[in-house]
Amino acid sequence: MTVQKFVTYSTISTNGQVSNQDQNLELNVLENTGNYLIHKDITRHQILGKQGTVSTKTRAEVRGGGRKPWRQKGTGRARAGSNRSPLWKGGGVIFGPKPKQVNFKLNQKERKLALQTLLYSNRKNLSVVEDLETSFISNKSKDLIEILKNLNLSLNDKLLIIVSTKTEAIRLSSRNLKNVELISASHLNTLSLIKAKNILLTVPALNDIKEIYCD
């Protein structure tokens, strides 16, 4: 059953000061079957991440095997017709993997519902910062770490930073941080949300989420 939930977030500046402007988010949440839908979307995300290029050679593709290794009878050894047999070292592989195109369909409404359910589940671990994309111009990781300390966010836990646009400064300053993942709001996915202990969301990214996933 889908239930409508309203969440209000206090906006924080990069220096840790709480702003007077609150941000509201209206979410449609699945109360009973939400976990099943989230699991389906995570499975879809993992399957689509596979290349599907793994390949092994069958006995028809392995080099050699033109002649019979030894005569059928009289040698005392087991009969053999080809050195490409799967029983032989260097022979073909039985039922080995072959290149294939993998696909997992999930309706767009289901995917949006799974994302909204996860966002509501993580509402207590989500912080909204107002001026990170516009005011942050440094390429140094230590400057981003200083901002995260002002926001009381620990780097010992997995942190997901959701922005509207990946600026060069934010991308360069966050790429060396082990537990920090940077993602744009248009590429938001359940796998990144479920792995994150804390979520840092910019105001433009929150507006993008409202427009893309909460219509």
Identify whether residues 90 and 37 lie together within a single domain.
no
What are the tens digits of pLDDT across the range 4-50?
A: 888 888 888 888 888 878 888 888 888 776 788 899 999 998 888 88
CA distance 47 to 134: 36
Q: Which residues pair with 23 in a beta bridge?
A: 9
What burial letters (b/e) apply to 28-48, b meaning 16+ CB within 10 Å? Answer: bbbeeebeebbebbbebbeee
- Co-location of 80 and 166 in the same domain: no
Same domain, 119 and 200: yes
pTM of the model: 0.80
CA distance 11 to 23: 7
pLDDT of residue 130: 86
196 band by pLDDT with thresholds 50, 70 and 90: very high
CATH of the domain at 11: 3.40.1370.10
The pLDDT of residue 49: 86
* Residues listed for the chain: 215
84, 101, 118 — which closes off a domain?
A: 101
Average pLDDT over residues 139-156: 89
Percent of the chain with pLDDT over 70: 100
Ramachandran angles phi, psi of 184, nearest 5°: -85, 155
Tell me what the mean pLDDT of segment 109-129 comes to.
90
Based on the fold, state whether residues 122 and 171 are members of the same structural domain: yes
Query: Do 31 and 55 belong together in one domain?
Result: no
Contacts of 101 (CB under 8 A, 6+ apart): 52
Residues 57, 118 within the same domain: no
Residue 201 pLDDT greater than 80, yes or no: yes
What pLDDT digit, counting tens, does each position of 75-103 carry? 999 999 999 999 999 999 999 999 998 88
Among residues 64, 82, 101, which one ends one of the domains?
101
Domain containing 81 equals 51-101
147 DSSP assignment: H
Phi, psi of 123 (to 5 degrees): -60, -30
Q: Are 129 and 199 in contact (CB under 8 A)?
A: no
Structural domains of the chain, count: 2
Q: Please indicate, yes or no, whether residues 113 and 11 belong to a single structural domain of this protein.
A: yes
Does 178 lie in the same domain as 89? no
Q: Are residues 151 and 182 in the same domain?
A: yes
Phi, psi of 71 (to 5 degrees): -65, 160
Residue 132 CB neighbour total at 10 angstroms: 25
25 and 45 fall within a common domain: yes
Looking at the structure, tell me whether residues 145 and 167 fall in a common domain. Answer: yes
Q: Which amino acid is at 161?
A: I
Adjacent-strand bridge partners of 198: 159
109 and 155 both lie in a single domain: yes
